[in-house]
A and B are shown apart, each in its own frame.
Chain A
């Protein structure tokens, strides 16, 4: 396949009607590049993202690599003079990436579902048609893997949620949710690490310190770590 001679600022749209994501490389300003992996957002794909992140971190022109959910953002030190060659190298690095198995830490979190700490549990019920008990069981059943950190200091994007309890992000975000809020946004779930706004559906609350700016590294959890939610209580 002939390599592209110019990075398309505007990538080809995904196939209409198809659910599958296509591989996409796009620009975020002059110094940041977003790489989106094709296919499903699952653990094997995320392991390849971790591997890709490790390879890219060694590139001298890279300031930082920021993994996301089946994607990663590359922040460069300077705007590249030949962006097409960066794109090409990125594609090659992805083709060479294999699943990186990380021996992570495991964390068990006690969650109080519903009540004041879970104000949007009813919205998940309304969207999914499932009962509170079913939703809570489905949420607490899996072993979640930390795919990436983002959103706010120490916040972990978790993979492994049961798609049956997926609920779209809220049209009107909540201005201030307390740290420790357990929420569902689309097909993803996560726990907020500090007080702040959120567009996700908050179904419960947990106590946990996820971030300490004076620690090295400052985030308590890292990609590859695992979490299990224990049902401490369900308030209906």
Chain B
């Protein structure tokens, strides 16, 4: 975990949007406790290092609700097998009234890693791009 990621989590905690956040990795444990009025518990996986150069993962850029189809549109941003380019928006993370893009950094065929439409944590793997 780098200092910027930690700063983002601290800010979210201060804003009261996180009640408790605990991150574990061999040799590392980070626990943040925010105001006690929230009841959300989210398991956030730390970003994994890409093992090969054929598959890239796309992670949630923040904590919020995963939105796979814009409410004004009739189709999801992407479906499995779509070919995407760097910069293409694959989904949105909703934080209150804001939408943050989940963007592909790579070109290739996209596959969704999660069927859930609920809360996701910062760094949760959401898509894989096969080059």
Direct contact of A and B (CB under 8 A): no
